[in-house]
Structure 1
Amino acid sequence: MVNIFPRISFSKFKIGKWGSEIEDENWISSQPITTTTVAAMQILATVPRLAYCRPNLIKHSQSKFILKDGTVVKTWTSPFLRDDYIFLADPDGKMIFGGRIWQYKEQLKDAIELISRKFS
């Protein structure tokens, strides 16, 4: 078999970020994370099957309450998949932490309530 395609070295390909990755970067916070926010993230880490979600989904969420350090807790329920989303955002609305869940919604609600009682 004869190769009719010219050889292209891998150095000719440009490696970079694609459209959605660039958009996601616009929604990620660059501010330092405070100890209160870290404690809230540790509470959320106890929720089973809480998965990472894309940062640009924070634009759909609504604010629930504000923590003592100024971090905003936001939630959203997807109208199509009925997944629940939780976001911790800086005062500018950029994501510090984001997660989604579809099966253990009650545990997520309990965790949000605990965060509200302890840190707001």
Structure 2
Amino acid sequence: MDEVVKKVAALGLPGVILVITMAATGLTGAAAITAALAFLGGPAGMLGGIAVLGLTGLITDALAKVSLEDFLTAIYCQRRQNEPHGKLLEEIESLSLFDGDMKDRLKTTVTDGCGCATVVHSNTTDDATEAIAILENVPGMTRAHHRDFKSSHPMMRLRDGTVVRTWKNLLGVDHVFLGDRNDRMIYGGFVGWIHSEGLNQALTRIRRDLT
């Protein structure tokens, strides 16, 4: 997943349009590229080449595993690290998306890093950074979507005021989030059933060392 996200992110807006086109039409290969170019109204060079043709196969595989929104969130998490946020916000506003609220959520991803695996701001405290490192070392830890942050419940507060929040979804999958003093998500992840004990051990360590 990380490989295809980085490759699509490197294409910029044309890559995003390619993903949206494939999700909306089910097209793959050259047909998907042609449809995306028609939407962009640009020259073939924008999405040309054998490399991009091969990328459509990776995109198809990714869309079979995650939702379009989760895929786009991962792409913008990657792009926000290297591109001006203002430019990305204007780009998102111009996109044709099926869910009107998706634009707002993607904008939040750009501005606050919501939905990104690790969102460490310049003002992120040492305690929060250490807690993130502990959680990232839990086997099977996977990025959680920021939309689930509001479903979580506080379980402890670190010395710096960071709040550790947890949530179990309908499938019994354990989620963990960190929120700052302004109740903004700075980290979110989840583990499968087989790794729940590892998450519990990490939370015990965080409580022991950072509260």
- Larger helix share, 1 or 2: 2
Secondary structure, in 3 states, of the residue corresponding to 2:198?
helix
Q: Name stretches of at least 5 consecutive residues in structure 2 with no aligned partner.
A: 1-36, 43-89
Deviation at 1:15, TM superposition (A): 4.4
Q: Distance in 1 between matches of 2:38 and 2:91?
A: 15
Distance 1:21 1:44 in 2: 29
> Cα distance, 1:92 vs. partner?
2.1
Task: Tell me the equivalent position of 2:176.
Answer: 86
Cα distance in 1, alignment partners of residues 182 and 38 from structure 2: 45
Shift of 1:68: 0.5
Percent of aligned positions that are identical: 27
Which residue number corresponds to residue 44 of structure 1? 135
The residue correspondences of 1:30-69 to structure 2 (distance < 5 A) are 32-69=123-160
Deviations 1:64-87 (A, max 9, x none): 0100111000000002x2110000
User: Larger relative CO (CA 8 A, sep 6+): 1 or 2?
Assistant: 1
In the comparison of the two structures, how many residue pairs are matched? 112
Give the secondary-structure state (helix, strand or coil) at the position aligned to 1:104.
helix
Give, in angstroms, the shift of residue 31 of structure 1: 7.2
Give the whole-Å Cα distance in 1 for the aligned partners of 2:186 and 2:202: 17
Where in structure 2 are the equivalents of 1:1-120 lying within 5 Å?
A: 8=38, 10-11=40-41, 15-16=91-92, 18=97, 19-23=101-105, 25=108, 28=114, 32-79=123-170, 81-102=171-192, 103-120=194-211
Give the alignment's Cα RMSD to 1 decimal.
Answer: 2.6
**5+ residue gaps in structure 1?**
1-6
Superposition deviation, residue 22 in structure 1: 2.0
